[in-house]
């Protein structure tokens, strides 16, 4: 990896590795080491692309190993916080390179399993807009250790209302209280069954989404708008929730 980075005179390394546990954590740590050995990289983007996981959790500890390694280097580094990806709520006509993981609101099947009261703040961003903010941030003279961007900050209840308006009918809605989330359970949506549990087992997906639900209640998706790159790069006009949901009209 070091030879490839050096041969191509790479200045900035952007990690998009899926860092969830020790093996993937080791891969990203090795990428940091390769960047140092190569000599040409000056900046490094550690893989988050969502929200920060709590310390003491498997994912949080896995990602912390990268930061520990980065702090031993002279690399300037950052992490991107962008909330939940809007790609997961669009129809198949929405351009995306990610495999959507439908969470909380299943627009296709007009169903919802919302964490908490539904009034907790949530940030959503389309992947292509995250890329646009990242591209703009490459020109910043100094990086903060955490950077923020968003397409829209709203609530699940407001999202639900916009989805119902777009589909022209009421959804079948359930709310998952904190106690249920703490037991590692969420409302199963039709889209989860359509996935066939190929990427995650049913139990693993339930537990992962229960963690996300607790993050919602903890305010981890409540990104600080005053620190967001949206203010610095006003020329970037990200897609909003309604922009994506409007694609469902007539379907």
User: Model confidence over 217-241: pLDDT tens digits?
Assistant: 999 999 999 999 999 999 999 999 9
Within a domain: 193: yes
Give the burial string for 132-156 (b: 16+ CB within 10 Å, else e): bbbeebeeeeebeeebbbbbbbbbb
Q: Enumerate helices (H) and strands (E) in the chain, giving the number of each.
A: 10, 10
Q: Which of 166, 171, 161 has the alpha carbon at shortest distance from 248?
A: 166
Q: What whole-number distance in Å separates Cα of residue 127 and Cα of residue 222?
A: 18
Interhelix angle 22-38/58-70, rounded to 10 degrees, is 10
Instruction: Please say if the pLDDT value at position 2 is more than 90.
Output: yes
Within a domain: 87: yes
What CATH number does the domain containing 197 carry? 3.90.25.10
**Cβ atoms < 10 Å from Cβ of 214:** 18
Q: What whole-number distance in Å separates Cα of residue 244 and Cα of residue 90?
A: 6
Q: What are the pLDDT digits (tens) for 242-251? A: 999 999 988 8
Instruction: Please say if the pLDDT value at position 198 is more than 80.
Output: no
Within a domain: 51: no
Mean of pLDDT values over 79-91: 97
Within a domain: 9: no
At 200 the pLDDT is 78
Q: Rg of the chain's alpha carbons, rounded to an integer? A: 19
Structurally, how many domains does the chain consist of? Answer: 1
**Cβ atoms < 10 Å from Cβ of 26:** 14
Within a domain: 14: no
At 199 the pLDDT is 72
At 60 the pLDDT is 87
Mean of pLDDT values over 135-154: 97
Domain that holds residue 95: 83-126+151-222+233-251
Q: What are the pLDDT digits (tens) for 31-84? A: 999 999 999 999 999 999 999 887 778 888 999 999 999 999 999 999 999 999
At 250 the pLDDT is 82
Q: Is 105 helix (H, G, I), strand (E, B) or coil?
A: strand
At 162 the pLDDT is 97
Within a domain: 60: no
Alpha helix positions (H), the chain: 2-7, 22-38, 58-70, 127-137, 156-167, 178-182, 190-194, 202-218, 229-232, 241-245
Within a domain: 142: no
Instruction: Please say if the pLDDT value at position 196 is more than 80.
Output: no
pTM confidence score: 0.94
- For β-strands 121-125 and 172-176, DSSP reports them as unpaired
User: What phi-psi label fits residue 118: left (phi over 0), alpha (psi between -120 and 50 degrees) or beta?
Assistant: left
Within a domain: 23: no
At 148 the pLDDT is 98
């Amino acid at each position: 990896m070091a030879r490839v980075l050096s041969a191509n005179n790479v200045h900035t390394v952007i990690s998009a590795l899926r860092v969830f546990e020790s093996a993937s954590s080791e891969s990203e740590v090795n990428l940091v080491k390769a960047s140092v050995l190569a000599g040409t990289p000056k900046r490094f983007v550690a893989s988050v692309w969502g929200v920060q996981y709590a310390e003491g959790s498997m994912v949080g500890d896995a990602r912390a190993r990268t930061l520990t390694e980065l702090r031993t280097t002279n690399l300037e580094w950052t992490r991107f916080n962008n909330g939940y990806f809007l790609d997961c709520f669009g129809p198949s006509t929405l351009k995306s390179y990610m495999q959507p993981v439908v969470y909380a609101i299943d627009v296709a099947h007009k169903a919802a399993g919302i964490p908490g009261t539904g009034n907790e703040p949530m940030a959503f961003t389309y992947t292509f807009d995250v890329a646009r903010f990242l591209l703009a941030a490459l020109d910043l003279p100094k990086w903060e250790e955490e950077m923020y961007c968003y397409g829209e900050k709203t609530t699940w209840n407001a999202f639900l209302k916009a989805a119902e308006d777009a589909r022209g009918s009421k959804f079948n809605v359930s709310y998952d209280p904190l106690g249920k989330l703490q037991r590692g359970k969420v409302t199963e949506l039709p889209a989860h069954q359509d996935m066939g549990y190929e990427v995650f087992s049913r139990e693993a997906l339930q537990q992962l989404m229960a963690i996300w639900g607790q993050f919602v209640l903890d305010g981890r998706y409540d990104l600080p708008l005053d620190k967001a790159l949206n203010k610095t790069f006003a020329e970037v006009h990200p897609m909003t929730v309604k922009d994506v949901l409007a694609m469902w009209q007539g379907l």
